[in-house]
Chain A
Amino acid sequence: MTDTAAETRTVVVEREFPFPPERLWRALTQPHLIEEWLMKNDFAPRVGHRFSLRGDWGGTLDCEVLAIEPGRRLVYTWDFAHDDPAFGLKSVVTFTLAPTGAGTRLRMEQAGFRPDQKQAFGGARAGWTEFLDRLAQVVARAD
């Protein structure tokens, strides 16, 4: 553990789907299917492949495939660059598939690194107005 480990946040979401792992694997690794449930992308199932996930809101995530075990495990980076590091993000997403009697359990674990999160919270002035302006735009587009 390093000093920075305390700043790492991990999110875990799990769900069991009534389908075999093969079908989930396709949804996780074929670009036109990834687009249907996640975001537009240029994913390719190859370690080291760099790709983008492009959100409806205009933001782009920078990703790189770190590990692939067909039908079992997929790992890629999930980074968001921002001029103000307090609003940027560096994280790693790991999908793990485990067959169950009725289907497949999918586990998504995202480990993020936010070194400036405290600054974003406490420093109510720098970057704050810009952040809220962005929120206002998001809200305006939401309806």
Chain B
Amino acid sequence: MKKHSQMVMGLMTDAQDRLFRTLADPTRRALFERLCREGELTVGALTARAGVSQPAVSKHLGVLKQAGLVRDRPEGRQTHYRAHVGALAPLVDWTGRMAGFWEARFDDLEDLLHRMDQ
């Protein structure tokens, strides 16, 4: 019954789940952390120390962008990427996380009440 993706205190919403999955990949996480640390970087600069090919870096950046974690800025033939830390808000939004948690627990409570003896 409680096989959902649970973290410290609650169930994850779809948005949170997506963020977690996006950041669960070590290469993507490293790229994101580097952007957090160093500010805006080009794909080339990121590739130089990523340990994977440029197409792979671009693909990871695409996933990060879809999750809202990075933003891009084309400039000439280069694309610059920067971290969008605000996208992490669902992870630290305690209120939203707890509300989702209790709604799910109430679902299980309702199931239980139906099964209980009089």
A: residues with CB less than 8 A from B are 9-11, 13, 15, 17, 19, 23-24, 26-27, 33, 36-39, 55-57, 59, 61, 80, 87, 89, 106, 108, 110, 112, 114, 117, 120-121, 124-125, 128-129, 132, 134-136, 138-140, 142
Contacts and interface: CB of A to CB of B under 8 A. Distances in A.
Contact of A138 (B7, B102, B109, B112): B7
Interface string B24-64: 10100100010011000000000000000000000000000
Interface of B: 1-9, 20-21, 23-24, 26, 29, 33, 36-37, 85, 88-89, 91-92, 94-95, 98-99, 102-103, 105-106, 108-113, 116, 118
A24 B110 CA distance: 9
Contact of A135 (B1, B24, B36, B37): B24
Contacts of B111: 37
Given A13-B102, A57-B6, A142-B4, A33 B112 contact: yes
B93 to A, nearest CB: 9
Contact of B9 (A26, A37, A89, A132): A89
A139 B20 contact: yes
B36 A124 contact: yes
Contacts, number: 106
Contacts of B98: 11, 110, 112
A55 to B, nearest CB: 6
Contacts of B103: 13
A44 B6 CA distance: 25
Contacts of B85: 121, 124
A110 B7 contact: no
A15 B112 CA distance: 15
Nearest to A59: B8
A38 B105 contact: yes
Nearest to B26: A136
A112 B94 contact: yes
A140 B113 CA distance: 32
Top 3 A-B residue pairs of the complex, sorted by shortest distance between their CB atoms: A142-B5, A37-B108, A13-B102
A136 B23 CA distance: 7
6 contacts: A11-B98, A17-B113, A59-B9, A80-B8, A121-B89, A138-B20
Given A37-B105, A37-B109, A117 B7 contact: no
Contacts of A129: 33
